[in-house]
Structure 1
Amino acid sequence: MNQRRIPPRPVDDWTEEVDEAFSVLRAHVPGGQAAAPGPATRPQSNILGIYAWHPDFIRGWMPFSNHLRHSTLSDRVREMAIIRTTWLGFGEYEWAQHVRMSRAGGYLTDAEIDALSEGPDAAEWSAPDAAIVRAVDEQYGAKNIADATWSELEAQFSRAQLLDFVFTVGTYDMHCTAFNVLGLELDAGMTGFPEGHRRTP
């Protein structure tokens, strides 16, 4: 990762405009309710701290980000796509965050998470799962998905799910680039990539 270029905005420096922009996050709290935005409820994460420098960006970005988090894909498929994409793209922050989420939510087993670092040929995968991982690899590497792989996806997913899959992989590929450029650092308590998985300068 590059050195930190844009540090998280200290929460004490957030304005009412920033708090209002982040209120979109409350839309996905169970029941749609949460405490009013303000100092006591400001999220303490480096990624949101970076966003906090740009309220207009928050307003534009967070609704789409929330859609991907609650899209037509199952939790398991979504996390497979994100974890494989961020592994390939050396997106350590998002990889660490989604590995932790997947374990906490029971979306993926430790063996499946390990297999996502190996790829579509890992012994852990069924044929349909291998197609999902292969599609990620192809979209990430070639910026396309081979016809044969696409046919395997069509056998599993509706057209809405196919759209959500492609845009999830594409979005997290973009995250890898953006956050490596910005030098986004892991939050306290996050466990990053295992030793040996580092981009060659």
Structure 2
Amino acid sequence: MKKNLRHVISASALALFVFIAFGSMDDEGDSSSSSSSTTVSADNSAKAKQVGETLSTRYFDVTVNKVALQDRVNTGNEFADLKREDGNQYLIINTTFKNTDGESRMISDGEVVINYNGKDYLFDKSETVMLEGWGTMLDQLNPLTSKTTNLVYKIPTEIKGPAYYRPGRSNSDDLIAIGNIE
């Protein structure tokens, strides 16, 4: 009973911290919110950076180094691995964030947009992998420092089409083309 109570209190404290941290982020009411538009038009897909190219956003230089599509996530730690799930696959995006601002900034995962049968589908929830080098989990970077991490998104196996990564806290037209999901 005490162990369960401790877990509830810890989870509540973490939730409160996340609420406060995200509430204090300085977006100054501009268009840096990526949820302002989920459509990938022909115009902004043509301007999209490619894997290996650096995308400069308001606070960060973001580079997608490598992309993989797998039926499970093997981290090297069996307790943190994501197991195979029928009907789903994992999109793993190895990404480097460099803080180009003059003060520390929190990084966030971002979202994947996949055009399937003429409709854009937004995958804005990444999977939680509790290991260093997997996800951004409330990470904050000091000015001119970098972090490379693996972002994991669960997507249905039926989905096919061109895919784009939009970093967190970036403009709606800040895209990196990550390939064609097949």
Same fold (TM over 0.5): no
User: Larger % of helix: which?
Assistant: 1
User: Larger % of strand: which?
Assistant: 2
Provide TM-score, normalisation by structure 1: 0.27
